[in-house]
Structures are given as structure tokens and as C-alpha cells.
Amino acid sequence: MAEIHQLYGAQSHFIDNGLARAWAGTFTADGQFRSPSYPAPVNGASELVAFAERFFAAGRDAGETVRHVVTNTYVTRTGPECLTVQAYLQIVATPAGGPSRLVRQTTISDELVADGGRWRIRCRTVHRDDQRPPHGR
């Protein structure tokens, strides 16, 4: 459990600080990232690195610091070497010299596997609260 909390504690610092390879390394080599905020799923280590690099460059070019604020981490064991993790994720952006704002409230739903002595994310799916159907979950 401590290892999982470390993983989720660390991961946002990696992508938010431009450490694209470290962020991609929290996924398996064939890891997948799906988010409705981006046009297509991101598949595998090299695409994950490129995705994290683009994310950081976009904030820098916009003159903003963007943070992935993770809370409410909930771990469920689904097999001897498999976990699911649900969490809340706020995107908070701050322009240089300006006020911070809550850009988006989302939920992440991850599948993790034991991979070389560490837990890594095999598949992350992000759901945006502004795209929830009014009658479902």
C-alpha cells in the first residue's frame, strides 16, 4: 500500500515538472493512457514519453504551470499481481503573475500489474466530470 501511495504521490511531480521519461516509467512498456481531453489513446512507452513532453511544453508555451492534484486514492486487489486504483484528479493551472484556477475535475481508473518488482500502470482511463451523463455514473 505504501508503494502505491508513493507511485501516485510521485507521478504528478514527474509530468508537471517535465520529467517525461520518469512519468512514462510509471506505466508498463505497453501501457495505455485514455483521456477524453486528448484526441486518441496513448499506447506504449515512446508515445507516453512524447505525450508527457507535449503536455509540459504546452503549459510552458502558454505561460502557465499546470498541476495534477490527486486525491481519494482507492486500491482494490483484483488478482495476485493485479490491482485497480480509483482516484480523483484536479487539473489546476496558474499563469505567471496570475491567479490559480481549477480547470477540470476528473476521475482516474487504473489497472496496475506487478512488473519487474514494481507496480506499474497498464491502463489508465480518465473520465471528466463535465462529460458525465446526467443519469448514470
Q: Which residues are near a second copy by CB under 8 A?
A: 1-2, 5-6, 8-10, 12-13, 17-18, 60, 63, 65, 67-75, 86-88, 90, 92, 94-105, 129-135, 137
Helices 44-61 + 2-16 axis angle, to 10: 50
The number of beta carbons lying within 10 Å of the beta carbon of residue 22 is 16
Q: Which is nearer to a second copy, 9 or 41 (CB)?
A: 9
Question: Cβ of residue 30: shortest distance to a second copy, in angstroms?
Answer: 25
Q: Which is nearer to a second copy, 12 or 43 (CB)?
A: 12
Q: Which is nearer to a second copy, 71 or 79 (CB)?
A: 71
